[in-house]
Structure 1
Amino acid sequence: MTAHTTELAPRLLWQLGAELGEGPLWLPEQQRLYFVNLKGKALHALDADGSRHSWTLPTFICWIVPRADGDGFLAGLRDGVVRLWLEPELRFDYLARPVQDKPGVRLNDAKADPEGRLWLGTMNSADVHRPDGQLFRLDADGVLSAALDGYHICNGPAFSLDGRTMYHSDSLHGRTYAYDVAADGSLGPARLWRQFGDGEGSPDGMTVDSEGCVWIAQWGGGRVCRYSPDGELLATIAMPVSQPASCVFGGPELKTLYITSAWEGMSDAQRAAEPLAGSLFAVDLDVPGVAPARYGK
């Protein structure tokens, strides 16, 4: 695998001031980056030519995942999973509401795996110290099941290139775990993959590159880091904001790492000291990423 220097410098792409910039997704066929301002109830898109697009939702939008059949997306709203279409106009239909009867609990982060299954996490946003977070699996046939319980803030997941390992974080405790993934989607026991310490921030959104290394946005740590499949630190991107939230590879050769950020929880003084908080950034890298997995068959 390729090592990087620690002098990787992000460039500013869009200073939009998102309270909680999350869920970046690159669609190669559109040459377009999608991402959300979760609490701003907005979905944004940035085209390769610099064109910008935005859509407003009636509630929080946490992420979007492309469908294998190309017919729109799956999206996570505050209280459930929906089918989402953007053309000719925005519309959505609910598929599942796993937190409908759980006060304070909302969807948080999600990703499809190489087998076309959707994995989506939840958290108690009213009290993050409550272990109400769960990880659910939505199979390609539409069956929803709970895969993990007892999380505080579910973040990730990301998958190894062969799909047999899932990386998933409980951000409150700064822990990223690895799980074996069986052919039927069942998970093996949790293995502590990395414990993040003082000054490193909390593991938030993550992605995997074409060498199987894991890139993690480290909330509160002001950095995005690359780790080997064994959890060894390989490279660090120092960010001009303290709360990078997620990252994804994109661009024509999948060699651009796009990074979202947030000002959620900051005081007025902190926001004044970080005028770029909530912006979208990019870093050009030597090792490409991989195209996004899609839901369904």
Structure 2
Amino acid sequence: MLLEHYISELLYRYNCVMVPGLGAFLTQMKSAVIHKTTNAFYPPSKAISFNEQVVTNDGLLVSYMADAEKTSYEEMLAKVTDATAEWKSRLQKGEKLVLENIGELKLNDAGKIRFQPHHNINYLTSSFGLSSFVSVPVNREVLKEEVEAIEEKIPFVFTPEKRKTRSLRPYLKYAAVGLLAISLGLTGYRFINDGLGNQQLAIEEAQEQVTKRIQEATFFDVEPLELSAISLDVLTPKAKIIKKKNLPTHHIVAGAFRFRENANKKIRQLKRRGYNSTYIGTNRHGLHMVNYESYTDVDKALKALKAVKRSQSKDAWLLSVK
């Protein structure tokens, strides 16, 4: 008969398991704990304690054991009394009493029973399946208040002026020229080895690749791009002009494209992301411009620009038209 085995089973169901002649094992709900130093997480559990002052037999342990071993209550009470008497005798001799999955009992210098619980089993049934673990610290980027204050003061202009921020995208044109030069150099090498016919083929392939890259590129000039006055014509099915509507004043520019079809492709992409993107015309360089949104209220436009620069593209900028 393993008395501690039955005590352990009852600790799952009850907050107090009294052992006749020895004392009572008590449990108390303990909340989840996160250790800040080790980043260890401990789930909710039951904390076990022992009170040797509670010695009155409540019949719970004896009845449970009698039912489990198919014997009478009186016979089981006698067995439990003998077992606890043996435990107390061992404690009096200075031995340490180790109860599996429960804890350790030992007498202190004052002759009182000292209990040290084990933590290998969680007796809280609602935390079944939850084990302790150590988490890797999560480093979060904190946006400084100084940066936010600067972003709140982003200037918008009615006339073109130099932008303070610079982008790597304007250098795409130079990279294309460099690619063409490299291609020409490789073509010269082929000409020596393969003849004039292979050289001409290599040049055409290189030019085709460079042209494709430039056509699909989004251009952000170093200064805001000027727009001429633009109006939209709303047509009926019979192609009669019924109304003219001016575009809003402030545009959050998403890019400028050499070909209109690339601008339309960009508009479809932005609409799928939830933006009310539109085509806002061509600039003085003949590039087709596309916006994220348009606003008549400048405060709303600045707020929206701030959100776009954070979540979509740092190259977005505000174009204001009188």
TM-score bracket, shorter-length normalisation:
under 0.3
| TM-score (norm: length of structure 1) | 0.20
More strand by share: 1
| TM-score (norm: length of structure 2) | 0.19
Larger gyration radius, structure 1 or structure 2: 2
